[in-house]
Amino acid sequence: MINRLCIVGVGLIGGSLARALKSAGAVSEVVGYGRDVAQLQLAQELGVIDRFETDIAAALRGAAVVVVAVPVGAMEGVLRTMAPHLDAATIVTDVGSTKGSVVAAAERAFGTVPPRFVPGHPIAGTERSGVAASFAELYHKRRVILTPLPHTDPAAVTTVRGLWQAAGAEVVEMGVQHHDEVLAATSHLPHVLAYTLVDTLARMEEHTEIFRYAAGGFRDFTRIASSDPGMWHDICLANREAILKVLDRYSADLAAVRRAVECGDGAALLHTFGRAKKARDDFKQ
C-alpha cells in the first residue's frame, strides 16, 4: 500500500497507472501535478486523481512515490524543478521510452542519480493521449522494464516492482543500454516506419484514392502513426544512436528486397517472406 502517490504528468500513461492502483486498492491518495489546469481538473472529475497541485513543492510534499510521466524531452527540466523539494526517502521512478537519456537527465538535474531513483518503462500504450484516454486495464499482462543502476536502492526497486505488479504488469529488469537497443528495434523503428509510410503516401498526388481504398493491413500497420508526434520526436532524438543502427540494418534488408523485385528473384522473395512469417507465427505463440 502506497500512502501517497504523486504523478507528474497525468496523461494516458500516468492516468492509467493511477486508475489501476486505485482499482487494486494499492494506493491511499493520488496527487497530480502538471501545468495544464484543465487536464488536472478533468483528471480529478474522472476520479483518476484525488487532488492536484500546480506548485511542485506542494505536490511532492509527503509523497512516498513519485512517478514522472512526461515526454523524455521534458524530463531534465521536470527533474530540475523537483530536485530542491524531494525528500531523501521519496522513491522516484519514470515511464520514459528511452533510459539512457533519462539517466543522463537525472545526473544533470541532481548532480548524481539518487539511490532511490528507479528508471522504468511500461511497454504499453495506445495511439491516443491525454487523461481522458486512460483506463485501468492498460498494463494488464503487459511488461514493464526496470533499469536500476548498480547503486540503486534495492528496497526502492522492490517498491516500484510491486507498484507495477499491482497494476497487473509483468516486471523485468535489464541494463540501460540493452533496453535502448531492444526498444529501438521493437518499438521505435516501427513508429518511424509507420510515420514515414503514411507521410510518403499522403504526399502522392493520388493520396485521397489510396487512403479511400486502404485495406485492413494498411490500417493495422499505420495505426501507430496517430501517436503523439511530439513524443516520438523526443524519443528519436533521445535514442538516436540505437535507432540509426537498426534503421541502417532495416534499410539494407529493404534494399535487398527491392533488388529481388527488380530482378524478378522469386526465390529470394519467398525465402524472406517465409522466414518472416515463421518468425511472426512463433512470436504469436
Q: Is the pLDDT of residue 13 over 70?
A: yes
Q: What are phi and psi of 3, to 5 degrees?
A: -65, -50
The 10 Å Cβ neighbour count of residue 164 is 23
Across the range 205-228, mean pLDDT stands at 84
Is residue 285 very low, low, confident or very high in pLDDT (cuts 50, 70, 90)?
low
- Tell me the domains of the chain and their CATH numbers: 2-174 (3.40.50.720), 179-284 (1.10.3660.10)
Q: Is the pLDDT of residue 41 over 90?
A: yes
Question: For position 178, what pLDDT does the model report?
Answer: 98
Is residue 215 very low, low, confident or very high in pLDDT (cuts 50, 70, 90)?
confident
| 240-263 and 266-284 helices, crossing angle to 10° | 140
Q: Is the pLDDT of residue 30 over 90?
A: yes
Instruction: Compute CA 145 distance to the chain's CA centroid, rounded to the nearest angstrom.
Output: 10
Q: Give strand ranges (E) for the chain.
A: 2-8, 27-33, 51-53, 65-68, 91-94, 117-118, 120-122, 143-146, 170-173
**Span 52-109, pLDDT tens digits:** 999 999 999 999 999 999 999 999 999 999 999 999 999 999 999 999 999 999 999 9
Question: For position 164, what pLDDT does the model report?
Answer: 98
Question: For position 283, what pLDDT does the model report?
Answer: 86
Give the global pTM.
0.90
SS3 of residue 7 by DSSP: strand
**Span 156-197, pLDDT tens digits:** 999 999 999 999 999 999 999 999 999 999 999 999 999 999
Q: Is the pLDDT of residue 16 over 80?
A: yes
Question: For position 196, what pLDDT does the model report?
Answer: 96
